[in-house]
Amino acid sequence: MGKRRRGRERLENCDSCGRTVPRDKAVDFNKRSVFSTDLRTNDNITLFTDVDVYYCISCAKHRKIFEKKKKLAQMKRGVF
């Protein structure tokens, strides 16, 4: 089964305010980062990375992440 603790979730730090929140209560958001060399030649290198960021509930509501997740779910269903 692994070394998973039962009855207690792992704690995550909020990326915005630094508050410690249990993982099941934290709001996870997939953040995309783009790094490029900004060369206008054929040697231009671009790197796309996805990072999971965790927010506490108050910061997620303030940053309107709940609306973003709702809109993404609607786009997947084809309603939007």
- Residue 2 falls inside a structural domain: no
pLDDT at position 36 is: 84
Q: What sign does the CA torsion over 58, 60, 66, 68 have?
A: positive
What is the tally of structural domains in the chain?
A: 1
Could you tell me the residue range of the domain that residue 60 belongs to? Answer: 11-38+45-77
Asked, for residue 21, whether it belongs to a domain, the answer is yes
Contact 69, 45 (CB under 8 A): no
Q: Write phi, then psi, for 3 (nearest 5 degrees).
A: -100, 35
pLDDT digits (tens, 9 = 90+) for 20-64: 999 988 998 888 888 888 777 778 888 899 999 999 999 998 998
pLDDT of residue 1: 45
